[in-house]
Amino acid sequence: MSIMHILLSWQMVGALLTFFIFSFLFRDNPFYKFAEHLYVGISLGYTIALTWYSTVWPDLFQPLFFSPASQVAVGQKLLLVIPLLFGLMYFTAFIPKVGWVMRVPMGFIMGWGMGVWIPATVQTTLIKQIQGSLLTPTMLTKWHLLLFGLISLVGVICSVIYFFFSREHKGAFKVASETGIIFLMVGFGASFGYTVMSRMSLLIGRFQFLLRDWLGVIH
């Protein structure tokens, strides 16, 4: 790889921006600020453009204003007026006198969201997880399944007891509560370990980019 190829390439831009971001490890500086703002600006601009061309234009503006009645029926067009109005209501946030109007679409979104989200969440994260914590006849077929099932059951009960504040933690209750702390700490440890792995992965990814894509030192 020639020096000119390295200097006049998109990889060079990527490498420079990587160094700008890494410079924050030393201290905050204008190069870091530049790269940070560039990233935020590009991300936001890209999101706006993509959302417009993939959703707002083809699903709202085009059928509502630019499609003949032979393609989109009048009834469908009238239905599209509702999301258009709701969308416009958000812009009242910029006019203090009528800013309250924004609550209408927000209320709709919250109502719809909660209605959809609550039953799905109860089913997915509560009922299914309670079922998963129970000892089932299948677990009795192999000793390791039974062992893991028991650990899981004890862990769930003790962790829930730790967060039970309506009774003083004394006697057996205290033992269970403190056992719950051990399970919680193991959980936090696992999360921290995975977080370290994640952060290291990002660092490795950057070094792979610098050494392979930019400098061509590794293959």
Partner 1 sequence: MSTEVNVKEKFTFWQALGHIDRRIIYLVLAIVVIVPLIVPLKLMKDVSPRAREVFAAIDNLKDTGKPLMISVDFDPASLPELYPMLISMIRHAFARNIKVMVLGLWPNGTGLGQQALKQAAEEFSKQEGADYVFLGYKAGVDAVILGMGENIKAVFPKDGNGRALDSLPMMTGIRKLADIGLIVSLSAGTPGYADWLLYAQSRYKARLAAGSTAVQAADAYPYLQTGQLTGLLAGMKGAAEYEFMVFQHGFSKAKMTAAPAMDPQSLAHLAIILLVIIGNIGFFADRRRGKA
Question: C-beta of 48: minimal distance to partner 1 in Å?
Answer: 9
Cβ of residue 43: shortest distance to partner 1, in angstroms? Answer: 6
Closest approach of partner 1 to the CB of residue 122, in Å: 10
127, 125, 104, 183: which is closest to 151 by C-alpha?
Answer: 183
* Residue 197 engages partner 1 in binding (rule: CB under 8 A): yes
Residue 25 within binding range of partner 1, rule CB under 8 A? yes
Using the minimum distance from each CB to partner 1, give the nearer residue, 111 or 187. Answer: 187
Q: Is 173 helix (H, G, I), strand (E, B) or coil?
A: helix
Instruction: Quickly list H helices, the chain.
Output: 3-7, 10-22, 30-51, 62-65, 74-90, 103-121, 128-133, 143-162, 172-208
Binding flags for partner 1, 82-121, as an x/- string (CB under 8 A): -------------------------------x--xx--xx
Query: Minimum distance from CB of 177 to partner 1 (Å)?
Result: 21
List of residues 6+ apart from 149 with CB closer than 8 A: 135, 136, 139
Instruction: Supply φ then ψ for residue 217, to 5 degrees.
Output: -75, -35
Region binding partner 1 by CB under 8 A among candidate stretches 86-94, 165-173, 175-183, 196-204: 196-204
Query: Minimal distance in Å, beta carbon 121 to partner 1?
Result: 6
Our finding on whether 185 is near partner 1 (CB under 8 A) is no
Residue 172 CB coordination number (10 Å): 9
Residues 6+ apart with CB under 8 A from 133: 152, 153, 156
Q: How many CB atoms lie within 10 A of CB 35?
A: 19
Which residues sit at the interface with partner 1, rule CB under 8 A? Answer: 25-26, 43, 46-47, 50-51, 54-56, 58, 113, 116-117, 120-121, 123-124, 128-129, 131-132, 152, 187, 190-191, 194-198, 200-208, 211, 217-219
